[in-house]
Amino acid sequence: MTYRVAMDIGGTFTDVVAYDEAHGTYVAAKAPTTPGDLAEGVFTALERVVDDLMAISFFVHGTTQGLNALLERKGARMLLLMSEGMRDVYHIARGNRDRMFDLHYRKPVPLVERQATTEVGGRLDWKGEELRPLDEAAVRSAARRARDEGCTAVAVSFLFSYVNPAHELRAGEILAQELDDDVMIVLSHQVASEWREYERTSSAVLDAYTGPVVRRYLGRIEERFAERGLGVPVQIMQSSGGVVNADFARRNPLQTLLSGPVGGTMGGVAAAALLGRPNAICIDMGGTSFDVSLVLHGRPDISNEGVADGFPVLMPLVNLHTIGAGGGSIATAEAGGLRVGPESAGAVPGPACYGRGGTAPTVTDANVVLGRVDPDWFAGGHMTLDVAAAHRAVGVLADRLGMDTEALAHGICQVANAKMAQAIRTLTVEHGLEPREFTLLAFGGAGPMHAAEIARELGVEEIVVPRFPGAFSAWGMLGTEVRRDFTRQFFTPGDALDSTAMAGALGALETQALDALGEQGVPGERRRIEHAVDMRYQGQDYTLTVPLEAADEPLREGFLAQAAARFAALHEQRYGHATPEAPVEFVTLRTTGFGALPEAAPAPYTPQRGADPGAGHTKSVRFGGTSYKTPVLRRERLASGEQFAGPAIVVEATSTIVVPPDATVAVDSHGFLIMKLGGTA
At 610, is the pLDDT very low, low, confident or very high (cuts 50, 70, 90)? Answer: low
Which segments of 268-346 are extended strands (E)?
A: 280-285, 290-296, 299-300, 302-303, 306-308, 311-313, 317-318, 321-323, 329-334, 337-344
Range 165-172 average pLDDT: 97
Instruction: Provide the pLDDT confidence category of residue 607 given band limits of 50, 70 and 90.
Output: confident
The H or E element containing residue 488 is: strand 482-493
Which pLDDT value is given to residue 611? 45
Question: 625 by DSSP, 3-state: which?
Answer: coil
- Percent above pLDDT 70 for the chain: 98
pLDDT at residue 12 above 80? Answer: no
* Dist CA 249 CA 238 (whole Å): 8
Q: How far apart are CA 453 and CA 678, in angstroms?
A: 12
pLDDT at 616: 58
379 vs 553 pLDDT, higher one: 553
Average pLDDT rounded to a whole number, residues 675-681: 71
Q: Is 286 in contact with 445 (CB distance < 8 Å)?
A: yes
What does the pLDDT look like over 274-329, one tens digit per residue?
999 999 999 999 887 889 999 999 999 999 998 888 899 999 999 988 888 888 88
Alpha-carbon distances of 622 from 21, 264, 370, 412, 637, rounded to whole Å: 43, 30, 5, 13, 25
pLDDT of residue 376: 82
Rounded Cα–Cα distance for residues 354 and 383 (Å): 8
**For residues 409-428, average pLDDT:** 93
User: Which range has the worst mean pLDDT, 63-67, 90-94, 636-640, 643-647?
Assistant: 63-67
Q: What is the mean pLDDT of residues 206-233?
A: 86
pLDDT of residue 614: 44
Section 549-572 average pLDDT: 95
Q: Indicate the Cα dihedral angle 40, 41, 43, 46, nearest 10°.
A: 180
Residue 367: name the closest of 355, 356, 375, 379 by CA: 375
Confidence of residue 24 (pLDDT cuts 50, 70, 90): confident
Residue 592 has pLDDT above 50, yes or no: yes
Instruction: Please tell me the predicted confidence (pLDDT) of residue 679.
Output: 53
Name which residue leads in pLDDT, 100 or 268: 268
CA distance 681 to 669: 29
Mean pLDDT of 504-531: 95
Starting at the edge strand that comes first in sequence, how are the strands of the sheet with 25-32 ordered? 25-32, 13-20, 3-9, 56-62, 234-237, 243-245, 482-493, 584-595, 527-537, 544-548
How far apart are alpha carbons 92 and 637 in whole angstroms? 60
Lowest-pLDDT choice from 129-138, 411-420, 455-464, 468-477: 468-477
Per the model's pLDDT, the better-predicted residue between 68 and 115 turns out to be 115
443, 284 Cβ separation under 8 angstroms: yes
Would you state the pLDDT for residue 308?
86
Pairing, β 56-62 against β 3-9: parallel
- Phi-psi bin for 160: left (phi > 0), alpha (psi -120 to 50), beta? left
- The overall average pLDDT reported for the chain is 90
Whether the pLDDT of residue 681 is over 50: the answer is no
Whether residue 224 has pLDDT greater than 90: no
pLDDT grade for 413, boundaries at 50, 70 and 90: very high
Q: How far apart are CA 567 and CA 544, in angstroms?
A: 7
**pLDDT at 268 > cutoff 70:** yes
Q: What is the pLDDT of residue 358?
A: 86
Question: What are 520-551's pLDDT values in tens digits?
Answer: 889 999 999 999 999 999 988 889 999 999 99
Helix 387-401 and helix 405-427: axis angle, to 10°? 90
Q: What percent of the chain shows pLDDT beyond 90?
A: 59
Q: How many CB atoms lie within 10 A of CB 339?
A: 16
C-alpha–C-alpha distance, residues 249 and 233, integer Å: 12
Return the higher-pLDDT residue of 549 and 616: 549
Q: Are the C-beta atoms of 71 and 309 separated by less than 8 Å?
A: yes
Does the reported pTM lie above 0.85? yes
**Average pLDDT for 46-72:** 85
How far, in Å, CA of 27 to CA of 653, rounded? 10
H or E, element range at 155: strand 153-157
Identify the helix (H) or strand (E) that includes residue 174: helix 166-178
Q: Looking at the predicted structure, is the pLDDT value of residue 613 above 70? A: no
Q: What is the spatial order of strands in the sheet that 78-83 belongs to?
A: 117-120, 78-83, 153-157, 184-187
Going by C-alpha positions, the residue among 34, 32, 28, 63 that lies closest to residue 48 is: 28
Taking only the tens place, the pLDDT of each residue in 630-667 is 999 988 888 889 999 989 999 988 889 999 999 999 99
Q: How far apart are CA 462 and CA 622, in angstroms?
A: 22
Helix (H) / strand (E) containing 674: strand 673-677
Where does residue 196 fall: left (phi above 0), alpha (psi -120 to 50 degrees), or beta otherwise? Answer: left
pLDDT range class, residue 680, cuts 50, 70, 90: very low
Band of pLDDT at residue 609, cut at 50, 70 and 90:
low
CA 195 to chain centre: 25
Distance separating alpha carbons of residues 354 and 328, to the nearest angstrom: 10
Q: What is the pLDDT of residue 573?
A: 82
pLDDT of residue 276: 92
Q: 21 near 27, Cβ under 8 Å?
A: no
- pLDDT (tens digit, 9 = 90+) per residue, 336-358? 889 988 888 877 788 999 988 88
- Does residue 645 contact residue 663 with C-beta atoms inside 8 Å? yes
